[in-house]
Homo-oligomer: A and B are copies of this chain.
Amino acid sequence: MKIVTFGEVMLRLSPPGVERFAQTDTLDMHFGGTEANVAVSLAQFGLQAAHVTRFPDHALGRAASGYLRKYAVDTQHIRYGDGRLGLYFLETGAGSRASRIIYDRVNSAFARIRPDDIDWESILAGASWFHWTGITSALSQGAADCLLAGIQTANRLGVPVSTDIVYRSNLWQYGRTPQEIMPALTAGCTLVLGSKNLFSELYGVVGSTFQESGRALMKRFPNVRYVTDTKRKSISASHNQLSAKLFDGETVYKSRIHDINPITDRIGTGDAYMAGLIYGLLTFNDLQRAIEFGTAASALKHTISGDVNLSTIAEVETLASGDTSGKLKR
C-alpha cells in the first residue's frame, strides 16, 4: 500500500536535553513537518510512503531529503528550487517548565511552491491514501492551490484523503482567511481530525458534543466518513495523559487513556496518532482496534526524540493491547 503526504519539512534545532537557548552552544538537528511525520510513521509500519514537498537546492535541502529517505520515505517527488529552508528552534521543557518553539519559516522554498511544480496525477496513481493538514493551506496561496489540486486529483482517482485541520492564527499571512480556504479542501476528505471548537470556527459547524459536532460536519461535507480528536491532560511538561475518540457517523469509539511519564519529546505526537489511525483504518476491519493502535502509537512517540515516530508495529500492538510494563526485550 502506498501513502502520499504533502507539506513543508523544517529543520528543527534544539539544545541538548533540557538546556535553555540562553545556555547552549550546540543544537541537535532533526527534520520534521506534520505531514512528513505521518509518512515516516507509516513507512516504519512497512507501508510505502512518499512525501511531496519543495526544498531549497542546497546542501541542507538535500540533507532534509536524506533524513526522510533514511526513515524509508520515498523522496523522488520532492522538488528543489529557490527560497530558504524553513526552521524551527525548540527548547524542550521539563516538569513545570514548558517547551517553547521559535518558528522561522517565512519565505521557505515550500511556501514558494506552485501547482505546476507537482504532477499529482502520476504521484497519486495507485495510492491508497493521501494526507494533508491545515498548516499547508496556511502557508501561501501557492501551497493552498497545490493542495487543492492534490485533493481533487485524489478524489478523482478514488484515493481516500485525511486531514488534521490544525489552525494556527499566526500563520495565514498571505491575505486569505482559513474560512475562505479550508472548506473546499475539507470537502474532499474522508477522515478529519479536529475539535468541535475548530469545526465551529472554520466551518460554522456547531454541535454541543463531539458526536453532534461530528455529525454536523458530515452533513456539511458528505465525503467525510470519520471524525476524530485526541484529548490531552497536561499534568506537567513531563507527564501527560492521552486518549482519543473516533466517530463514524454511528458510534463513538473511545481509546484507553495512556499515562505518559516521563515525556522525552512531545513534538509530532499528534502526527503519530494520525499515522497510527490511518494504518488501523487501512489494515484492520475494526475501528476500536484502529483507535487503540493510533493512541498507542502516539503514546510511544512521546518516548522518542525528534519529530517522527520510529516505533514498530509490534511495539505499538504491545502497548495497544494494554501492556505498559516496558519490560526489557532480549
Contacts and interface: CB of A to CB of B under 8 A. Distances in A.
Interface of A: 13, 16-30, 58-60, 62-63, 66-67, 69-72, 84-85, 87, 89, 91, 93-104, 106-107, 168, 170, 234-239, 258, 260-264, 266-267, 299-300, 302-306, 310-311, 315, 318-319, 324-330
Nearest to A85: B104
Contacts of A236: 261, 324-326
A224 to B, nearest CB: 27
Q: Is the interface of A mostly helix, strand, loop or mixed?
A: loop
A310 to B, nearest CB: 5
- Looking at A95, A234, A263, A324, the one whose CB has the most chain B CB atoms below 10 A away is A95
Contacts of A18: 264, 303-305
- Looking at A13, A97, A300, the one whose CB has the most chain B CB atoms below 10 A away is A97
26 contacts: A13-B13, A18-B305, A19-B305, A20-B59, A20-B304, A20-B310, A23-B306, A25-B25, A25-B30, A26-B27, A58-B102, A66-B70, A93-B328, A94-B262, A95-B302, A96-B258, A96-B303, A97-B315, A98-B328, A98-B329, A234-B326, A235-B324, A235-B325, A236-B326, A237-B325, A267-B328
Contact of A66 (B71, B84, B95): B71
A29 B29 contact: no
Contact of A29 (B26, B100, B102, B104): B26
Contacts of A311: 97
A107 to B, nearest CB: 7
Contacts of A72: 66, 69
A239 B311 CA distance: 20
A196 B170 CA distance: 49
Nearest to A93: B326
Contacts of A93: 303, 326, 328
A42 to B, nearest CB: 15
Nearest to A170: B330
A264 B97 CA distance: 11
A95 B296 CA distance: 12
Contacts of A262: 94-95, 238, 262
B97 A266 contact: no
B328 A95 contact: no
A98 to B, nearest CB: 5
Contacts of A67: 70
A60 B100 CA distance: 12
B97 A326 contact: yes
Nearest to A65: B72
Contact of A327 (B22, B30, B70, B234): B234
A17 B22 CA distance: 19
